[in-house]
Structure 1
Amino acid sequence: MKVIKMRKSVFIGTIVSACLIFGAVGAGAATGLQKITANLNHNIKFKIDGDSWTPKNDKGQKMPPITYQGSTYLPARAVAEATGMYVGWDDATDTVIINTDGSAPVQEEEEETEAPVSSAGIMKLTGTEAQMEDKLRAEAQKIIKIYADALLTEDTSKFDAYIDSYTAEKRDNSPISLGRQYYKDDFSEMLAGTIEANTAADTKEYANTLKGVTLSEIETSYISDKSEFGQYFEFVYYPEGWDAFSSVYVKFEFSAEYYDSSTYLLEEVSVN
């Protein structure tokens, strides 16, 4: 996976608007809203450090400022990105977060969900699909942070240890069982390719973004139907400030211990 940064050109300057509004917020922000009558002002032009600038959304569409009771309001995200700041949204507290140094806020460690493992340490497919989805989302968060650490250190030992702890070894009676070493090698090759394709500075910044991933930011990409052969779950994280090619997918695949078995063992953990 090639890391490609998706960010507007950075201008160093100050915000000249009297007040800011956030471009797009979660539905939870509806509480406390007050209806007003305001105007989109298409006549106002902007310059940052002498350069003409037009506020736009993430799709490149123009966002004219709003004039209300003598004050001019600009979209916070567009202004923050144009001036090199970090802007984010905390859905839990309805808070716009702006860091003038451009750094993402340090995320508190979330409570880890216990992995459904057997006495031998191998993860099993247990409970309802919804329960398994929740448990594996927490595991995906762990894997993404392990990936971030590997990008910074070029060391795959933490991922290798995870594979050894939770996945089944290759079984001779299974034509689809590839074994632990296969997925260790796959991760190592993917990591090396990512590091080679990007500058050290971009890799470091990207890895630090991944380290801050929260459970709520991890989306379910796909869950296959459960069959007599197995079932797999795939999750995706879209790091803010980076383009779609920089998204991280984590896949967990369970296979029946033997044909038509009621026991399903974790065979694959992969990142791409």
Structure 2
Amino acid sequence: MKTNRKKNKTVAIASLVVAFLATSFGSAYAAAQLEPINAFFNRGVSFVLNGERWQPQNEEGRPLAAIYYDGNNYLPVRALAEALNIPIDFDPATQHIYIGAKRAVKTPMFAVPMEIDHIYAVLTRDPKETNVHDRQFGEVLKIDQYGDVILTLDRKFKRLVLDAAVVSPGEHEAEISLYNAGDKAGNTASTVLEMHKVAPDEGIKTLVFDVEGLDKVKLHVQSHQLNPYIYARILDTSFLDNGDAAEKDGSKATGSK
């Protein structure tokens, strides 16, 4: 490619938004909000991320170059956020780009991608199973002996807030342990990051786990005595959010209502 052709290549800001954020705009919105500029692909710069060479890529895996405009080099926000392990999301309804955690948003636990050990742990909407300490719920995860639940979080949340209980005829305390189940967990996958307990006489108890920065987590539910039937229940009022994990006060019992 000739040098003068390379220097004169311009890009409209609308094209940048499509390439970098994979979003789309209606013509009416574009006419009101988008302002054309002259910019250049700066293929002369290279990137070093945490001491190693790094090449930003789009969602199809094609290399991306920095954009040079008004004396500054601009990088694609999605590629950079993902490289820095920071969650990023775009809301087309509000035209908001979220970099990092979304505050004040609660996501039901049962709404995120979930893998369940179906031998002793199952989701159920059976009214007989979803009546927990005289409260009727729409859906519960029942673990009668032990079970593993893997949740895909994609680093979008700081807290996992579980409402849990042990129901009749359960006589043993249930331990709920949190593990890092991400692809890069390595040897740490077998390390308990956090563990909370709920006893039969505690009614419905709220357990708060710190999940900040984790792609996937595993919840392992069992009795400390390993084998007895515990009849544990995780309720559909459990959720994930971005409340300040540092302010959590641990588990608290809400009691039967």
TM-score between both structures, scaled by the size of structure 1: 0.36
Which is strand-richer, 1 or 2?
Answer: 2
TM-score between both structures, scaled by the size of structure 2: 0.38
